[in-house]
Structure 1
Amino acid sequence: MPNAAQAYARTSQATAPPREIEAQALLKAARQLQEIQTNWTGPDKSMHKALLFNRRLWSIFMSAAAVDENPHPVEVRQNIANIGLFVMQQTVDMQMSPDPAKLKSLIDINCNIAAGLAGRT
């Protein structure tokens, strides 16, 4: 996991503002999940790969929110952590009892937060 976080940090510093990188990562995860939902053939390797990508992304967000040096207000950081916990619970639920309808909340969360990060609320 540290490698993913380090790669994310390097990429965000080298290419675009962090908010834009975060928005793009959330949209990528949402697209992967949407692809699974749209072309549902049952639980398969691509479903697990998409859920893993989304879970890793949210793990990074949750870890960043927990760091004392995080410049965001505590309330914002708590909201990120709470959303992250919900995402983790939904992911486990999807893995235990696969149903394409369950992906909607994960897709919606990612798209809405990405829109907020990009200033398109």
Structure 2
Amino acid sequence: MHQQGAQAYQQTANVVASSRERESALLMKAAAGLQKIKDEWPDSYDDLKPALTFNRKLWTIFAASVTREDSPLPHDVRENVANLCIFIMNQTREVLLEPRPEKLEVLVRLNRQIASGLRGM
């Protein structure tokens, strides 16, 4: 019986770890896309809206996940992620309203920091 419990725990840990790795990889992909646009501005302008849309969808999924009643995350972590999601949405709107490459820096930095945190968990 102990062996089965250990196996179940390991399987759950693997799913959680792979989920975090996947989230981290997606955040890094979004950050890389935004960084490329910033670095190649203004030639990259046509890629701006699709890159922002990808990033916004990613953060919308995070927001939906942390605000579910059955989220396993502690309340303060859920609240912090939800607040980050709101910030990301507002920053995305600002970039769309007045596109400038330097406005992408905060989105790139946040994605990289959160991705790094997910890999370190």
Same fold (TM over 0.5): yes
Instruction: Kindly tell me the number of residue pairs found equivalent between the two proteins.
Output: 107
Q: How does 1:28-107 map to 2 (within 5 A)?
A: 28-41=29-42, 44-107=45-108
Pair member with larger Rg: 2
Normalised to the residue count of structure 2, the TM-score between the two structures is 0.83
User: What code does the residue aligned with 1:32 have?
Assistant: G
Note if contact 2:37-2:44 (Cα within 8 Å) is conserved in structure 1.
no
Q: Kindly state the Cα deviation for residue 44 of structure 1 after the two structures are TM-superposed.
A: 3.2
Normalised to the residue count of structure 1, the TM-score between the two structures is 0.83
1:42-83 deviation per Cα after TM superposition (whole angstroms, max 9, x unaligned): 673310000000000000000001101110001100000000
Q: Which runs of 4+ in 1 moved over 6 A?
A: none
Which one has a larger percent helix, Structure 1 or Structure 2?
2
Following the alignment from structure 1 to structure 2, what is the Cα–Cα distance between the partners of residues 43 and 28? 16
Following the alignment from structure 1 to structure 2, what is the Cα–Cα distance between the partners of residues 52 and 25? 13
CA RMSD of aligned residues (A): 1.8
Give unmatched runs, 5+ long, in structure 2: 1-13
